[in-house]
């Protein structure tokens, strides 16, 4: 949000696209008849302004700057956004200045252009304190770090995370490009700035910043397995080099068959010799898992890699959020990386695995996640489930947001929050799906999987239990080897798996990861049990 100077406001009558509002509240102004009146008024202002209307909030009819407190201002902006969405318009800019009581806002509203935005979804992984959040914070804001992780605060949003400097849950950040020009925001925690950025960009890069601390490995797996990622970004600190967690996270990325980019961070803290040692360690690690490392030194290297990158070729970039070295190369790569084709998936019925559930004042119950297939539109009727009974419940879509930007519809690969009615928030569980009726979901308790046992100290026999991750599902499952009595580390085979507590909607071909203590393995769903 920008600061403005509204000391000399143009009167409503002098410019026909200007409207003054003291305040707007959801209880009064979103009632059907009043909402329709305000929508007609906004349409009139847009027509007089050739597709642009200017609203001043916290201003009386005579143009006096009264102001609104933060909570009232947020509510007024939400109401204005809701009214705009009714007539295919959007808030594109907000400026504020202090007033008698709080702030006054100048809000620019514009008709929606039906443009398609390309969207890269990058999963960021790596050991704790290797600089993942700091790197993402610097990339998305353009603000260099002070050397103490100052830009990390843009992603660590819980009080205990900020105090300890450790991320404990998935964080999402975004920046983008418009005709090749990099577009950043001053404060990624500001919802209004995020929404305006989404409006401006023709290509978005969304980061899923995962957790590097070992006790939260389950959350990291959810971030990589549970989102429809296009690429994995593995961060390795130059002072420590690759660790066992680095290898664990790389293994998860590769198990999901994602192209990977490696960034060696903190190069400002160590000698050139140490950087070279870590580079060699990274190269050796990548070669060990059958990948071809390629050191990115200049723009020509970046352009070559974005043209030729595949699952085997891995860009390696040396970077410092403190000095800024390497950040331009990362921008170059992200701006030119090809968006995975979702043409076939976009034709299928809509389906999304639920990652988070929360309640928003004035909006209601919201479920968020990454769209797996199809398109969802505001006002549609969907189903959600399965519940413990195996049933699915009908719900209505009230609104759709991507990075706090209201959308009429959303497509495959978009990270969205969908406001729904028809079910209580406390009834919804992570791992459920929300979908079109004709997706024909099926509640499953038992299924067969082809698995590879990567690490296990003894043998896996009938009755073995561990946590299995499929999409956003993380559930205790009971194992029963099908073709042999037991499986050991290094073995592959077929296993009958049963969700211990709840049924879930899964399909053949989905990847899975199972892990418990020192045991871990990967696999693919091959058959759903009747």
Kindly state whether residues 435 and 455 are assigned to the same domain.
no
Kindly state whether residues 156 and 221 are assigned to the same domain.
yes
Of 97-106, 142-151, 295-304, give the lowest mean pLDDT range: 142-151
Q: How many structural domains compose the chain?
A: 4
372's tokens: 């797996």
Span 247-276, mean pLDDT?
92
- C-alpha distances (whole Å) from 314 to each of 250, 305, 427 are 12, 8, 43
Kindly state whether residues 487 and 358 are assigned to the same domain.
no
pLDDT category of residue 115 using cuts at 50, 70 and 90: low
Q: For residue range 22-40, list pLDDT tens digits in order.
A: 999 988 898 888 999 999 9
Q: For residue range 205-220, list pLDDT tens digits in order.
A: 999 877 644 444 566 6
Select from 286, 175, 282 the least CA-distant residue to 236.
282
Q: How buried is residue 379: exposed, middle or buried, by Cβ count under 10 Å (0-12/13-18/19+)? A: exposed
Kindly state whether residues 311 and 373 are assigned to the same domain.
no
Select from 327, 326, 329 the least CA-distant residue to 304.
329
Higher confidence at residue 404 or residue 286?
Answer: 286
pTM to 2 decimal places:
0.74
Kindly state whether residues 323 and 350 are assigned to the same domain.
no
Q: How buried is residue 257: exposed, middle or buried, by Cβ count under 10 Å (0-12/13-18/19+)? A: exposed
Kindly state whether residues 48 and 127 are assigned to the same domain.
no
Kindly state whether residues 141 and 232 are assigned to the same domain.
yes
Q: For residue range 474-489, list pLDDT tens digits in order.
A: 999 999 999 888 898 8
Kindly state whether residues 68 and 210 are assigned to the same domain.
no
Kindly state whether residues 163 and 303 are assigned to the same domain.
yes
Of 15-29, 128-142, 147-161, 329-343, give the lowest mean pLDDT range: 147-161
- The residue out of 439, 460, 482 marking a domain boundary is 439
User: What's the pLDDT at 530?
Assistant: 61
Q: How many CA atoms lie within 13 A of 167 on its CB side?
A: 32
Q: For residue range 116-143, list pLDDT tens digits in order.
A: 678 898 989 888 889 898 999 999 999 8
Kindly state whether residues 163 and 290 are assigned to the same domain.
yes
pLDDT category of residue 444 using cuts at 50, 70 and 90: very high
- The residue out of 439, 467, 484 marking a domain boundary is 439
Range(s) of the domain holding residue 152:
118-336
């Amino acid at each position: 949000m920008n600061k403005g100077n509204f000391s000399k406001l143009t009167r409503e009558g002098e410019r026909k696209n200007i409207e003054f509002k003291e305040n707007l509240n959801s209880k009064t102004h979103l009632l059907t008849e009043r909402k329709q009146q305000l929508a007609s008024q906004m349409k009139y202002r847009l027509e007089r302004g050739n597709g642009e209307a200017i609203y001043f909030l916290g201003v009386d009819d005579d143009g006096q700057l009264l102001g609104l407190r933060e909570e009232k201002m947020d509510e007024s902006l939400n109401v204005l956004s809701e009214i705009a969405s009714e007539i295919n318009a959007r808030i594109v800019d907000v400026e504020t200045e202090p007033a008698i009581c709080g702030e006054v806002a100048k809000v620019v509203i514009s008709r929606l252009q039906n443009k398609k935005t390309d969207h890269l979804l990058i999963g960021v992984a790596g050991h704790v304190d290797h600089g993942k959040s700091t790197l993402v914070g610097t990339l998305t804001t353009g603000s260099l770090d002070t050397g103490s992780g100052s830009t990390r605060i843009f992603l660590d949003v819980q009080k205990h995370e900020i105090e300890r400097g450790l991320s404990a849950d998935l964080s999402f950040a975004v920046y983008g490009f418009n005709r090749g020009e990099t577009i950043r925001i001053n404060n990624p925690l500001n919802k209004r700035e995020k929404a305006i950025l989404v409006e401006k960009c023709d290509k978005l890069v969304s980061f899923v910043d995962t957790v590097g601390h070992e006790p939260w490995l389950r959350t990291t797996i959810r971030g990589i397995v549970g989102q429809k990622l296009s690429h994995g970004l593995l961060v390795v600190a130059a002072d420590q080099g690759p660790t066992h967690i680095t290898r664990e996270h790389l293994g998860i990325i590769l198990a999901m068959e994602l192209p990977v980019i490696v960034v060696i961070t903190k190069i400002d803290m160590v000698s050139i010799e140490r950087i070279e040692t870590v580079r060699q360690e990274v190269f050796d690690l990548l070669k060990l898992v059958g990948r071809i490392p390629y050191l990115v030194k200049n723009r020509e290297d970046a352009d070559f890699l974005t043209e030729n990158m595949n699952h085997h070729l891995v860009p390696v970039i040396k970077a410092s959020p403190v000095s800024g070295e390497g950040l331009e190369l990362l921008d170059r790569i992200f701006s030119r990386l090809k968006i995975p084709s979702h043409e076939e998936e976009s034709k299928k019925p809509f389906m999304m695995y639920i990652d988070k559930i929360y309640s928003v004042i004035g909006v209601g119950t919201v479920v968020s996640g990454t769209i797996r297939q199809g398109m969802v539109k505001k006002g549609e009727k969907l189903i959600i489930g399965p519940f413990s009974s195996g049933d699915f419940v009908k719900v209505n879509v009230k609104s759709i947001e991507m990075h706090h930007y209201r959308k009429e519809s959303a497509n495959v690969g978009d990270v969205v929050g969908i406001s729904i009615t028809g079910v209580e928030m406390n009834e919804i569980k992570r791992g459920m799906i929300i979908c079109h009726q004709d997706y024909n979901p099926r509640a499953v308790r038992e299924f067969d999987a082809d698995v590879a046992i990567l690490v296990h100290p003894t043998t896996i026999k009938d009755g073995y239990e561990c946590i299995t991750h499929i999409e956003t599902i993380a559930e205790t499952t009971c194992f029963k080897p099908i073709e042999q009595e037991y499986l050991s580390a290094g073995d592959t085979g077929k296993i009958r798996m049963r969700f211990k507590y709840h049924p879930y909607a899964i399909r053949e071909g989905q990847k899975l990861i199972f892990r418990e203590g020192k045991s871990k393995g990967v696999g693919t769903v091959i058959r759903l049990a009747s």
